Structure 1
Amino acid sequence: MIPPDPPGTIADGPSRHLDLIAEMMAAFARSQDVETTLRLALIRAVERLEAEAGSLFLLEPDGALRCRAAVGPVDVTGLRLAPGTGIVWRTIETNSPQRVADTGRDPDFAPRVDDATGFVTRSILCAPLAAGPERLGAIELFNKQGGAPFSDADLGLLQALAASAALAMINARLLAGLAEQEAMQRDLDLAAEIQRAMLPPPQGVDSPVHGLNRAARRVSGDFYEIVPLSDGRIAFAIGDVAGKGMKAALLMARTASLFRCLVKREDGPGRVLAAIEAELHETRLAGTFVTMIAGLLDPARGRVVLANAGHEPPVLVHQGRFVEITEGVPPLGIDPRLFDDGVPETVVDLDGGALYLFTDGLTEARGLVGGVMLGADGVLGLLAAFAAMDAAERLETVLHALGGAVSLEDDVTLMVVEDRLRPPVPAVQRLFPARPEALATIRAAVAETLAGLGASAEVAADCVLAVDEACQNIIRHAYKGGEGDIVLHVAREESDIVIRLMDFAPPVDPAKLVSRPLDEVRPGGLGTHLMRSVMDTVGFRPPPPGIGNLLEMVKRNGVP
């Protein structure tokens, strides 16, 4: 036992207990078990301050105090104190330390614990466990050995220990929360990986059905399916589960699995949706439903049979016209009685066109340029802008116009079902990086396309030169040398050659793009003059949503 220092000396205060404070702070810092360390701190405080007993109380979620550690002749661990009177509650409510020299003179002293245990409390020292306004509990010591009251120095030491203990508890909570968050993140990553594995693999370039899914968060409530059947037909589906997060992801996985199973045994997409509804009704999670379209494509006839349960209407694009297919029933999972009459089917003859299916995440998405919500018209504009691309690249480029997956507020899923019997479209459309090293590849693509369209070598050379100058302007001025992409479109329209270049840079003001006098043009700055000298028309057109600029150049009578 440490002998007391003479009153009035420097050591007569918390400074003489610096070794204990340092010891306990170090113990808290390296502790993996804060509660065990708190008990150790209580034991050391009782020993150093020569108390007969001590207790450590922590606040419970219901607002009561529970004794989590006790030292002395009576073990009151587990004792609960409801909010009310008592020195420990006064300490917590006032968030200030208390020193009671004589409990008999303190009106807040509550003797009921003494009455129950037989312990006699004469004096009390109590310090709050708090971090700023957050109150965690209190440390309470009872009866200085030898009958003397606790001193101010004793109170100072208990305050220091309590402050260190409170900080350790806050850190422990933060670490526990971080560990829980990391565990949840690992679970979400695993769920996302499983979801990606459940989606159909990329389809070959000759496949008439392609799909794409991007999750706004780690996991998605959207899905699509492509299932080749033994008779040569191709079953497909797209769906959107209400809500987000793990609950939606679980229902998405169940619905997709049901489709893959049922489509091989049920005759027609309407019966497939009715069977899925019956299965979901038995195990449905409360408050969730699924919008879904199921379809069957007969590639040999270019014919699709559709059934729609509350989903966004699919759109048939045929010869530049857009036709919405609106027939359907309510979403799956709301009320099985709505399906008593089955799910109606719609027959669609593609006739050389393409059928698009998408979730509402696409119509509600905002374009990369301008940030305006697409809506149905914007979606149709994007689909038309990239119509000449191969199907898989077309879907990717639509998503690219929305900023990839970075700016999505909801999951996006997009599908296309094409009639592969149609004659090839006399147009080529490709996405290129906006970098100087890509210019040679762009020039080669233009030359090869024009040769295929029957253009003369002289006409092709003029078009290649105009495209090269336009792309250099996009790289230097639109993207200012930064990262970006260019969409090249080369098409034959009757006897004219039409070239369009689209970018995703901030829109330019065409009125400011005035050609300078030739005597003011520096070497390498002939772009606008040169393009207009070799092409019949050069000008900007209103771009579709998500596109920054759309430059169109026409060579009249460029092909026989």
Structure 2
Amino acid sequence: MPSPLPETESASHLDLIVEMTGDFVQSHDVEATLHLGLERIAKRLGAEAASLFLVDEDTGELVCRANIGPVDVRGLRLSPGTGIVGRTIDLGVPQLVKDTRRDPDFARSIDAATGFETRSILCAPMSARGQRLGAIELFNKVSGDAFTQTDSRLLQALAASSALALINARLVADMAEQQSLKRELELAAEIQRAMLPGELPGDSPIHGINLAASGVSGDFYEIMPLADGRIAFAIGDVAGKGMKASLLMAKTASLFRCLVKREAGPGAVLAAINSEMLETRMPGMFVTMAAGVFDPAMGRVTLAIAGHEPPLLLKDGIFTPIEGDMPPLGIAVELFADGCPESVVDLDGGCLYLFTDGLTEARSRHDGMLENEGARALLQSFADLPAGLRLDSVVRSLDDSGSLRDDITLVVIEDRRERPPISETAEFERRYPARPDELSSIRAAVGGAARAMGCGESMVGDVVLAVDEACQNIIRHAYRGTDGDIVVHLNRDNDRLVIRLMDFAPAVDVAKIQPRPLDEVRPGGLGTHLMRSIMDHVDFLAPPPGIGNLLQMVKRIDPT
């Protein structure tokens, strides 16, 4: 059993350990502190040279991070397990080599390369809390003697103290880095919030809201009044989260603000943004986006969509999605060569909702993930509130018990024009282009008019279905793909609802418009059966001058 150290020598060694630990705790430069600690250890143990190796966390290599002696080997990298230092780290116990000529693991190539003659080595592992950090290696006693077991015990204590201090220093550095990153994220989030539109007056026809899943958001929206009285708007969602997504979000929003002032329409704006993104592309990054221009005087929206969630038109309690078939921005250039297709949407007293997929992926407080139907029901439940409060209420109703799955952004555009109310005795008449994409507007308007004239919800559904079928027949069979219009007229005659549909196509041969037998399996002819089964009377009347065909449908009003 080794004899104990003299009391004065033990106290001196303890003072060195305390001194080195204090240096590590107070230091802001780990590299400099490692060098200072190694210098003190070499001096105390009388070594000609010393090296401190740390394990590279990524490669497992042993890297010389501090060095004392005639030859500077800092930066030297050894493969895992190489030499006596590698053996020390692998075994986790000190290695005392009194004569390097007799040790098969001694790496003579280093002496050959540096000219330093290594006679004896003392090496102790740096490990603490189960972590193998590296090792401290001493070379040759200045006195010419070999290292002793007493030296080994002291070096082991000093190495363990250095390891613990190094771990603490790394933790302090990590905390400082995290605090710095937190401050940077807070600043980035503050800049992002400043980029979003400010608070809008309550009578603004467009309102928006953004809720970030983390400190910074990959979503954005923009609302910009134009010189001619129209209002430009956009909503976007950058693929991914965090700082990288927020930078691309800032770039895209800035491009929109710049381009919308000079490009002719939202389709051209999206095409220009796509071109710019592809020139400075971030691999794996893209943006879904919808942009448009709203004319408050006409209640009309011109809309372009690039890979974004279909906006929802809400009129008379009916949601109609506005689909787009272009890919997200930043993926393909050739598809945007002719710009991005535009849709014209007449709000006609309704409102248009635009949102990111964070809404459909959010969770309600009681029913789990919203998905499409849940999102529509949530929007409908707050439809009577003012627009700004409505969006805020939608966001507040989401489940906030945990972090959001994704950023959530909502924009609503309202037609605020004054319209005369429809009474039970009023007439309703509007003219629509004879195109399939107008059918959703026709259905919504007819449903609202029938409801205002006293029809119950069940009857409203029947009336909308019959009118939709009749309009499809006009488009398909009367106009046969040519341009034209349909006039839709409704009025209440005592307890009857009278519907008249007029077109300007060539007159049809009424005798040839006969419903085919229901058991005959082939396309066509069932629409007439449907209309006659729903309505009380379906008749072609003699049209007034200038009208091609006049179809009248009558049904007794059922208020239930």
Q: Deviations over 1:300-336 (max 9, x none)?
A: 1212221111211111111111111224422222111
The yes-or-no answer on 1:349 pairing with 2:366 is no
Q: Distance in 1 between matches of 2:399 and 2:4?
A: 72
Q: Deviations over 1:226-247 (max 9, x none)?
A: 1111111111111111111222
The yes-or-no answer on 1:374 pairing with 2:360 is no
Q: Distance in 2 between matches of 1:250 and 1:415?
A: 22
The alpha-carbon deviation at position 84 of structure 1 amounts to 5.2
Q: Deviations over 1:491-544 (max 9, x none)?
A: xx999xxxxxxxxxxxxxxxxxxxxxxxxxxxxxxxxxxxxxxxxxxxxxxxxx
Secondary structure in 2 matching 1:249 = helix
Instruction: Quote the residue 1:390 is aligned against.
Output: 386
Q: Distance in 2 between matches of 1:9 and 1:178?
A: 40
Secondary structure in 1 matching 2:37 = helix
Query: In structure 2, which of residues 395, 399, 417 is the aligned counterpart of residue 421 of structure 1?
Result: 417
Instruction: Quote the residue 1:31 is aligned against.
Output: 27
Distance 1:96 1:334, change over 3 A: same
Q: Is the 8 A contact 1:214 1:405 kept in 2?
A: no
Q: Deviations over 1:253-287 (max 9, x none)?
A: 22212222222222222222222222222223221
Query: In structure 2, which of residues 28, 36, 40 is the aligned counterpart of residue 40 of structure 1?
Result: 36
Q: How does 1:86-105 map onto structure 2 within 5 Å?
A: 86-105=83-102
Secondary structure in 2 matching 1:141 = strand
Q: How does 1:454-473 map onto structure 2 within 5 Å?
A: none
Secondary structure in 1 matching 2:209 = strand
User: Mean Cα displacement is larger for which, 88-97 or 389-398?
Assistant: 88-97
The alpha-carbon deviation at position 398 of structure 1 amounts to 0.3
Distance 1:124 1:398, change over 3 A: same
Instruction: Quote the residue 1:512 is aligned against.
Output: none
The alpha-carbon deviation at position 406 of structure 1 amounts to 5.8
One-letter amino acid matched to 2:152: L
TM-score, normalization: structure 1? 0.70
Q: Distance in 2 between matches of 1:362 and 1:87?
A: 60
One-letter amino acid matched to 1:354: C
TM-score, normalization: structure 2? 0.70
Q: Is the 8 A contact 1:354 1:417 kept in 2?
A: yes
The yes-or-no answer on 1:193 pairing with 2:190 is yes
Q: How does 1:300-379 map onto structure 2 within 5 Å?
A: 300-370=297-367, 372-379=368-375
Q: Distance in 1 between matches of 2:87 and 2:113?
A: 21
Q: Distance in 1 between matches of 2:82 and 2:416?
A: 83
User: Mean Cα displacement is larger for which, 219-228 or 249-258?
Assistant: 249-258
Q: Distance in 1 between matches of 2:224 and 2:74?
A: 63
Instruction: Quote the residue 2:178 is aligned against.
Output: 181
The alpha-carbon deviation at position 365 of structure 1 amounts to 0.5
Identical aligned pairs, as a percentage?
62
The yes-or-no answer on 1:275 pairing with 2:252 is no
Q: Is the 8 A contact 2:306 2:329 kept in 1?
A: yes
The alpha-carbon deviation at position 62 of structure 1 amounts to 3.9
The alpha-carbon deviation at position 171 of structure 1 amounts to 1.8
Distance 1:115 1:14, change over 3 A: farther
One-letter amino acid matched to 2:277: L
Q: Distance in 2 between matches of 1:9 and 1:244?
A: 60
One-letter amino acid matched to 1:48: R
The alpha-carbon deviation at position 14 of structure 1 amounts to 5.2
Distance 1:80 1:351, change over 3 A: closer
Secondary structure in 1 matching 2:193 = helix
Q: Distance in 1 between matches of 2:417 and 2:48?
A: 94
Q: How does 1:150-161 map onto structure 2 within 5 Å?
A: 150-161=147-158
Q: Is the 8 A contact 1:307 1:344 kept in 2?
A: yes
Instruction: Quote the residue 1:171 is aligned against.
Output: 168
Instruction: Quote the residue 1:410 is aligned against.
Output: 406
Instruction: Quote the residue 1:260 is aligned against.
Output: 257
Q: Is the 8 A contact 1:103 1:124 kept in 2?
A: yes
The alpha-carbon deviation at position 113 of structure 1 amounts to 3.1
Instruction: Quote the residue 2:396 is aligned against.
Output: 400
Q: Is the 8 A contact 1:289 1:331 kept in 2?
A: yes
Query: In structure 1, which of residues 221, 224, 228 is the aligned counterpart of residue 225 of structure 2?
Result: 228
Q: Deviations over 1:127-153 (max 9, x none)?
A: 011224432221112233444432222
Q: Is the 8 A contact 2:266 2:302 kept in 1?
A: yes
Secondary structure in 2 matching 1:149 = coil
Q: Distance in 2 between matches of 1:406 and 1:77?
A: 48
One-letter amino acid matched to 1:401: S
Distance 1:96 1:335, change over 3 A: same
Q: Deviations over 1:431-457 (max 9, x none)?
A: xxxxxxxxxxxxxxxxxxxxxxxxxxx
One-letter amino acid matched to 2:123: C
Q: How does 1:135-150 map onto structure 2 within 5 Å?
A: 135-150=132-147
The yes-or-no answer on 1:247 pairing with 2:252 is no
One-letter amino acid matched to 2:61: A
Query: In structure 1, which of residues 190, 212, 215 is the aligned counterpart of residue 212 of structure 2?
Result: 215
Q: Distance in 1 between matches of 2:29 and 2:373?
A: 60
Secondary structure in 1 matching 2:363 = coil
Distance 1:241 1:9, change over 3 A: closer
Q: Distance in 1 between matches of 2:453 and 2:351?
A: 22
Distance 1:236 1:15, change over 3 A: same
Distance 1:329 1:21, change over 3 A: closer
Q: Which runs of 5+ in 2 are unaligned?
A: 423-451, 455-560
Distance 1:59 1:424, change over 3 A: farther
Whose radius of gyration is greater, 1 or 2?
2
Secondary structure in 2 matching 1:284 = coil
Q: Distance in 2 between matches of 1:399 and 1:368?
A: 11
Distance 1:12 1:196, change over 3 A: closer
Q: Distance in 2 between matches of 1:288 and 1:76?
A: 44
User: Mean Cα displacement is larger for which, 207-216 or 323-332?
Assistant: 323-332
Distance 1:157 1:425, change over 3 A: farther
The alpha-carbon deviation at position 85 of structure 1 amounts to 4.3
Secondary structure in 1 matching 2:369 = coil
Q: How does 1:75-86 map onto structure 2 within 5 Å?
A: 75-83=72-80, 85-86=82-83
Aligned length: 423
The alpha-carbon deviation at position 391 of structure 1 amounts to 0.5
Q: Distance in 1 between matches of 2:187 and 2:113?
A: 54
Q: Is the 8 A contact 2:210 2:407 kept in 1?
A: yes
Distance 1:122 1:11, change over 3 A: farther
Distance 1:393 1:154, change over 3 A: same
Distance 1:404 1:263, change over 3 A: farther
Q: Is the 8 A contact 2:354 2:412 kept in 1?
A: yes
User: Mean Cα displacement is larger for which, 41-50 or 7-16?
Assistant: 7-16
The yes-or-no answer on 1:203 pairing with 2:203 is no
Instruction: Quote the residue 2:498 is aligned against.
Output: none
Instruction: Quote the residue 2:15 is aligned against.
Output: 19
Q: Distance in 2 between matches of 1:183 and 1:9?
A: 47
Aligned CA-pair RMSD: 2.7
Q: Which runs of 5+ in 1 are unaligned?
A: 1-5, 427-492, 496-560
Q: Distance in 2 between matches of 1:309 and 1:117?
A: 64
